[in-house]
């Protein structure tokens, strides 16, 4: 190994340098985003702004302006922030004014949490998904070195995303604050340091054996330049301070004082002092009250008052604020309330779902879109994971290895020489969908046909995405040809090496929903949910199953797109449960159409596990 020349004081960890002494580069990937849902926007507005449609989802083109008036839409992105931030660089390098991150730093407490179920809101202990757990395992899998590598990679990209006026806030605690400060000094330079804030959360104190009770988090603040946005913040005066004032003949509170700069005496009036300047110790913001209205059942949720202070100090209305570990979306909710533009990202299905509900609950919240890297992330994974080892072309080889890999995870054996059938598990034939296209009706039809020809009586189709609303139709048609058909979802965890290696991957049968569309009046439509079926309930943990009284208890949220055009789901009507409001209406409001015609109504259900199920209905509106 070459000698590494250290020329400045810096934090060094195993893996920071290559063997030849050069600094390891941060992986930067640029993938296109898919817009999977648009919220709070009318179809007409969007059609006017849209240029082209590229199939099942819209691809984010980034053509909107930088203000709400110029069409800006806030963004909630589901995915690993390393790929997400890398992909944002093309459009947002040097554009984000404030970034707050609260990366995971605990090693156990965040794995699971309680969630209310059904109308009664009975609490159930909820395991975090393998992928969320994996984020923590990965982070700490190799001890401090892997944590530091994870943070270093991300902080370097964050620096490139910040605008010249930009500020970064990193929320951490005593376990990692010393490490993160070392990385930040490296990434921003020591001159980039702005503050080390101690957020002291008061509350119950236990006697600790041999140390002082640890009662604060550290928030490290760094900026790109001296031009960073800064607005002085005030809090109410302390009572000891107010007690020093006397009342004059007009009833005003005043105090005689020595002028510290000009010398001599001066009189200070309390009503002329804006308040107590907030310094670097924040001891006036309590943590989220477990019983409070702000609570969103997210274990690491931070209080809104904390973000109010940060956002007001380091940004102005209209500025762009981002949180790439957004959890339950507290930063985004406060940014929304304060009129900032925002981008949020989390890799957890549940975090994204909670955030979406939280933002919907804010009065007059502006339109936002939900994005992911969808098939592009999967293509990327397929290419980096399955390489050319056997002299075949990369594509053919990658495809072969991909199929073998999924079959193995599903416990099936590969089959050669078939058109549509890739493997066999027990009695069942197995067909696997491609990473970059939805499984189509025609594709399933062809696989059923092949089974029928071979006199095989069971077919399992595994897919990442599905052509809309085909479950019952397909199962019926297959049954007529003597084939029992099961459709199973390939979970995102498949792409996580450790989860796959540990056998942590489960394939769930697709759920399906039944709904009735009526037209109560001329030019209207209304949707009534009639059933929601998760076929193999034995796969659901017993403690959840025992709390389910009726099919609707599985549903946490449902929404309707009244005029679906085979692209992005445009949420036109929505209902969901919150901690306070447990009941869920099963009939939508009436929707009024402008004109008669054929419309496709798309109904989306998100279940208590955070999975979505959609079903399309074609209607003639008169």
Ligand X SMILES: C[S@@+](CC[C@H](N)C(=O)[O-])C[C@H]1O[C@@H](n2cnc3c(N)ncnc32)[C@H](O)[C@@H]1O
Beta pairing partners, 345:
77
301 interacts with ligand X by CB under 6 A: yes
By CB under 6 A, is residue 347 in contact with ligand X? yes
> Nearest-CB residue to ligand X?
327
Q: How far apart are CA 555 and CA 357, in angstroms?
A: 14
The yes or no reply on residue 345 touching ligand X (CB under 6 A) is yes
The answer to whether 129 contacts ligand X (rule: CB under 6 A) is: no
Contacts of ligand X in 318-337 (CB under 6 A) = 325, 327-328, 330
The C-alpha R_g of the chain, in whole angstroms, comes to 28
Among 74, 81, 372, 382, binds ligand X (CB under 6 A): 81
521: Cβ contacts below 8 Å, ≥ 6 apart: 590
The residue among 609, 603, 616, 607 whose CA lies nearest residue 552 is 607
HEC letters along 373-406: CHHHHHHHHHHHHCCCCCCCCHHHHHHHHHHHHH
Residue 325 C-beta: closest distance to ligand X, Å: 3
We find the least distance from the C-beta atom of residue 128 to ligand X, in angstroms, to be: 8
Contact between 135 and ligand X by CB under 6 A: the answer reads yes
CB closer to ligand X out of 86 and 423: 86
Task: Select the residue interacting with ligand X from 37, 80, 186, 561 (CB under 6 A).
Answer: 80
Question: How far apart are CB 105 and ligand X at their closest, in Å?
Answer: 7
Alpha helices, H only, 17-98: 43-49, 81-92
User: Is the CB of 163 or the CB of 330 nearer to ligand X?
Assistant: 330
Least separation in angstroms between CB 80 and ligand X = 5
Shortest Cβ 63–ligand X spacing (Å)? 26
The answer for residues whose C-beta is within 8 angstroms of residue 212's C-beta and 6 or more apart is none
Q: Which residues contact 64 (CB under 8 A, 6 or more apart)?
A: 49, 70, 71, 72, 73
348 or 423: CB nearest ligand X: 348
Burial level of 389, CB count in 10 A (0-12/13-18/19+)?
Answer: exposed
Does 348 help bind ligand X (rule: CB under 6 A)? yes
Residues 6+ apart with CB under 8 A from 144: 13, 179
CB 156 to ligand X: min, Å: 14
314 binds ligand X (CB under 6 A): no
Nearer to ligand X by Cβ, of 345 and 451: the residue is 345
Residue 40 interacts with ligand X (CB under 6 A)?
Answer: no
Q: Examine residue 177 and tell whether it contacts ligand X (CB under 6 A).
A: no
Q: Which CB, 104 or 118, lies closer to ligand X?
A: 104
Give CA separation, 337 vs 7, 230, 362, in Å.
46, 19, 8
- Give whichever of 13 and 325 is closer to ligand X, judged by the CB atom: 325
Select 141 or 414, whichever has its Cβ closest to ligand X: 141
Residue 304's SS3 state is helix
How many residues bind ligand X, per CB under 6 A?
19
In terms of CB distance, is 495 or 603 closer to ligand X?
495
Quickly tell me which residue has 């402008």 as its tokens: 594
DSSP bridge partners of 614: 604
By CB under 6 A, tell whether 132 contacts ligand X. yes
**Mask of contacts with ligand X, 280-299, x by CB under 6 A?**
------------------x-
Q: Is 102 in the site for ligand X (CB under 6 A)?
A: yes
Q: Closer to ligand X by CB, 325 or 471: give it.
A: 325
Q: Least Å distance between CB 103 and ligand X?
A: 6
Rounded Cα distance, 193 and 180, in Å = 12
Q: Which is nearer to ligand X, 100 or 558 (CB)?
A: 100
Residue number, 346 or 450, with CB nearest to ligand X: 346
- Rounded CA separation 603/65 (Å): 31
Stretch near ligand X under the rule CB under 6 A, chosen from 50-58, 343-351, 527-535, 540-548: 343-351
Judged by CB under 6 A, the residue of 122, 185, 346, 504 near ligand X is 346
Question: What is the per-residue DSSP string for 173-209?
Answer: -TTTHHHHHHHHHHHH-GGGEEEEEEEEPPS--PPPS
**Beta carbon of residue 351, minimum distance to ligand X (angstroms, whole number):** 4
Instruction: Please list, in sequence order, all residues whose beta carbon lies within 8 angstroms of the beta carbon of residue 388, skipping any fewer than 6 positions away.
Output: 394, 397, 398
Residues counted in the chain? 622
Let me know: does 429 contact 459? Beta carbons within 8 Å: yes
Tokens representing 2 are: 């070459």
Tell me the sheet residues that pair with 613: 605
Could you say whether residue 493 binds ligand X (CB under 6 A)?
A: no
- Residue 131 is a binding residue for ligand X (CB under 6 A): no
Contact 362, 378 (CB under 8 A): no
Q: Contact residues for ligand X (CB under 6 A)?
A: 80-81, 102, 104, 132, 135, 298, 300-302, 325, 327-328, 330, 345-348, 351
């Amino acid at each position: 190994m070459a000698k590494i020349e250290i020329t400045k004081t810096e934090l060094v960890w195993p893996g920071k340098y290559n063997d030849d002494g050069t600094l390891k580069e941060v992986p930067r990937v640029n993938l296109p985003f898919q817009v999977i849902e648009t919220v709070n926007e009318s179809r007409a507005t969007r059609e006017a702004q849209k240029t082209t449609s590229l199939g099942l989802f819209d691809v984010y083109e980034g053509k909107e302006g930088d203000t709400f008036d110029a069409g800006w839409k806030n963004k909630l992105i589901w995915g690993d922030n390393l790929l997400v931030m890398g992909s944002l660089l093309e459009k947002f390098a040097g554009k984000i004014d404030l970034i707050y991150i609260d990366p995971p730093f605990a090693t156990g407490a965040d794995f699971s949490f309680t969630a209310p179920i059904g109308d009664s809101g009975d609490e159930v202990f909820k395991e975090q998904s393998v992928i969320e757990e994996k984020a923590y395992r990965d982070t700490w899998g190799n001890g401090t070195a892997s944590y530091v590598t994870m943070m270093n990679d991300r902080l370097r990209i964050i620096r490139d995303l910040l605008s010249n006026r930009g500020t970064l806030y990193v929320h951490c605690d005593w376990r990692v604050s010393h490490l993160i400060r070392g990385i930040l000094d490296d990434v921003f330079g020591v001159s980039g340091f702005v503050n080390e804030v101690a957020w002291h959360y008061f509350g119950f104190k236990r006697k600790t054996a041999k140390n002082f009770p640890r009662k604060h988090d550290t928030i490290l603040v760094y900026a790109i330049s001296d031009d960073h946005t800064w607005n002085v913040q005030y809090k109410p005066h302390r009572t000891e301070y107010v007690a020093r004032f006397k009342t004059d003949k007009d009833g005003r509170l005043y105090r005689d004082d020595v002028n510290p700069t000009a010398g001599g005496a001066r009189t200070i009036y309390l009503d002329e002092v804006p308040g107590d300047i907030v310094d670097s110790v924040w001891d006036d913001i309590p943590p989220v009250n477990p019983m409070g209205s702000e609570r969103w059942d997210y274990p690491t949720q931070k209080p809104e008052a904390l973000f109010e202070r940060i956002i007001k100090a380091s940004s102005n209305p209209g500025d762009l604020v981002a949180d790439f570990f957004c959890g339950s979306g507290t930063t985004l909710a406060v940014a929304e309330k304060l009129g900032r533009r925002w981008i949020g990202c989390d890799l957890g299905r549940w975090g994204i779902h909670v955030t979406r509900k939280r933002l919907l609950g804010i009065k007059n919240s502006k339109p936002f879109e939900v994005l992911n890297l969808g098939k592009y992330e999967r293509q990327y994974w397929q290419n980096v994971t399955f390489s050319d080892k056997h002299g075949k072309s990369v594509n053919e080889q990658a495809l072969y290895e991909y199929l073998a890999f999924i079959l193995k995870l599903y416990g099936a054996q590969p089959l050669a020489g078939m058109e549509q059938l890739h493997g066999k598990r027990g009695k069942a034939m197995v067909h696997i969908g491609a990473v970059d296209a939805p499984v189509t009706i025609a594709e399933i039809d062809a696989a059923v046909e092949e089974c029928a020809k071979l006199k095989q009586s069971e077919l399992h189709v595994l897919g990442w995405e599905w052509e809309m609303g085909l479950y019952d139709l397909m199962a019926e048609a297959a049954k007529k040809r003597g084939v029992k058909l099961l459709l199973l979802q390939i979970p995102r965890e498949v792409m996580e090496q450790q989860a796959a290696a540990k056998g942590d991957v489960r394939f769930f049968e697709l759920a399906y929903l039944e709904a009735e569309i009526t037209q109560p009046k001329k030019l209207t439509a209304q949707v009534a949910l009639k059933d929601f079926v998760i076929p193999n309930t034995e796969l659901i943990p017993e403690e959840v199953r025992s709390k389910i009284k009726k099919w609707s208890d599985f549903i946490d949220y449902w929404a309707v797109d009244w005029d679906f055009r085979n692209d992005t789901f445009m949420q036109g009507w929505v209902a969901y449960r919150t901690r306070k409001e447990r009941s869920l209406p099963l009939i939508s409001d009436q929707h009024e159409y402008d004109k008669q015609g054929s419309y496709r109504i798309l109904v989306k259900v998100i279940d208590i596990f955070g999975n979505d199920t959609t079903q399309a209905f074609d209607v003639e509106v008169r």
